[in-house]
Amino acid sequence: MLASTVGRPVLQASHLLGGYQRYWGERSNFLQTLSKISIDLDLNDIRQCVHLICFYSVCTRLETLEITLPAIIERLNKVNPFWENQRYAYDCVEKQLKFVSLRGFKGSDQEFQFLRHIIRNGKKLEKVTIICCQGMEFEIERVLTVKNASPELRIVFKFQTHDADQELQELQERNLLSYK
C-alpha cells in the first residue's frame, strides 16, 4: 500500500492511515480537510482494512475515494469476514462520500463485501466506478443486486482494454490528494 513515482516510494499509506492517532487535535487539520484520496490498498488484508476504517473516522470531509487493488491476491485461501462484520457506517461514508473508484476488481469476496458496505451505507453516493477485466458477469450481477442507500447512485463498470505500461502511466498521473 504505497504511492509511487517512477518506482520510488513517495508515501507509505500505512504510516498515514495506521499512525493517524498522532494527528488528533491541532495537528489533524490536514486530515479533516481532505476531500479526495487515491491509495493502493489490499482489501483482503485485515490490517489494511482496519487502517481504512480508522481513516474514515478522521477524514470527515472525504468525498472521493479511489482504491487500486494489488495485481496479485496473496491471501486467497484465508477467510477474512472483515467487511461483513462492519455494522457501523462512519459519517464520512454515510454523509460525505460521493465518488468511489475501485481499480483492479477481481471479484474476491472481500472486494464484494467492501463494495456492499459502501453501497448500502453511502447516502450521498453519486457514482461507484469499478474497473475490472472482461468475463466477470457473475460478479457484476452480484454487485448490481446490492440494495443502495442513495437514490442518485450510478454503478459503472469499466473494462481494462490497454496494456500494463499504459495502466502504470495512468496511475502515476493521477491526483493523489486534494483538500477543501
In the chain, where the domains are located: 10-179
Q: Is the per-residue pLDDT at 149 higher than 50? A: yes
Domain 10-179 is of which CATH architecture?
Alpha-Beta Horseshoe (3.80)
Read off the pLDDT band of 137 (50, 70, 90): confident
pLDDT band per the 50, 70, 90 thresholds, residue 153: very high
pLDDT at position 3: 43
Between 60-69, 121-130, 136-145, 169-178, the lowest mean confidence (pLDDT) is in 169-178
**38 pLDDT above the threshold of 70:** yes
Of 6-10, 109-113, 145-149, 169-173, the one with minimum mean pLDDT is: 6-10
Q: Shortest CA distance to 1 belongs to which of 47, 65, 56?
A: 47
The pTM for the full model equals 0.75
- Mean pLDDT, range 96-104, rounded to an integer: 94
